[in-house]
């Protein structure tokens, strides 16, 4: 079992880190953001798009709401091709996710999630705690890729260490 306080801390941390990385990415030209940097999702912007998509998908599972983004994993890299729209959607989602985490109780996260994964073409069942932990952990993997791509592109993203962040 994971406590609701963990969810609140992770939602606040994720919002802080997104602000950090979007700020660094905004210092780059559109061409630099979209340049293929040989990462899993190729570019900075494609990786940021993928993270919005996955956050929407996992939160829809965890919160029991309808998924807003209906594209599959392979199309997630182009969810929002317009940079201002991508930034706006990221900020909108982060606010909604922090609000969701603020209201979560132990009862809300004590069950099991069932869903059909288009990524592996299987019906899956996992405890809420595993899925919610994955939702936050998944971004960590791509955040490291983003930090490397942003730095290589000449941007200056801030620290990513949770212990160095001031979170609620």
Domain boundaries, the chain: 4-159
Confidence of residue 121 (pLDDT cuts 50, 70, 90): confident
pLDDT at residue 59, as a whole number:
79
Q: How high does pLDDT run on average in the chain? A: 87
Write the CA distances from 93 to 58, 99, 122, integer angstroms: 12, 10, 27
Does residue 2 surpass a pLDDT of 60? Answer: yes
Between 65 and 103, name the one with better pLDDT. Answer: 103
Do residues 37 and 153 touch, judged by C-beta distance below 8 A?
yes
What is the 3 state secondary structure string of 144-164? HHHHHHHHHCCCCCCCCCHHH
pLDDT in tens, 153-164: 999 998 888 887
- pTM reported for the whole predicted model: 0.88
Say whether domain 4-159 belongs to CATH 3.40.50.300: no
Give the separation between CA 1 and CA 69, rounded to whole angstroms: 28
pLDDT in tens, 7-49: 999 999 999 999 999 999 999 999 999 999 999 999 999 999 9
pLDDT at residue 153, as a whole number:
97
Q: What is the mean pLDDT of residues 83-90?
A: 96
Maximum C-alpha span of the chain: 46
Structure letter (DSSP) for residue 113? E
- Characterize 149-161 residue by residue with b for buried, 16 or more Cβ atoms within 10 angstroms of its Cβ, and e for exposed: bbeebebebeebe
């Amino acid at each position: 079992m994971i406590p609701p306080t963990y969810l609140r801390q992770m939602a606040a941390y994720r919002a802080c880190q997104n602000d950090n990385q979007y700020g660094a990415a905004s210092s780059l030209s559109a061409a630099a953001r979209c340049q293929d940097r040989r990462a899993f999702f190729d570019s900075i912007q494609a990786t940021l798009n993928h993270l919005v998509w996955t956050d929407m998908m996992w939160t829809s599972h965890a919160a029991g709401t309808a998924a807003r983004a209906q594209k599959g994993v392979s199309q997630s890299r182009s969810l929002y091709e317009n940079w201002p729209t991508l930034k706006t959607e990221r900020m909108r989602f982060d606010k909604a996710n922090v609000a969701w985490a603020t209201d979560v109780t132990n009862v809300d996260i004590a069950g099991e999630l069932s869903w059909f994964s288009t990524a592996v073409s299987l019906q899956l069942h996992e405890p809420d705690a595993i899925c919610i932990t994955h939702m936050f952990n998944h971004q960590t993997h791509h955040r490291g890729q983003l930090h490397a791509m942003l730095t290589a592109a000449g941007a200056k993203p801030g620290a990513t260490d949770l212990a160095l962040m001031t979170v609620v």
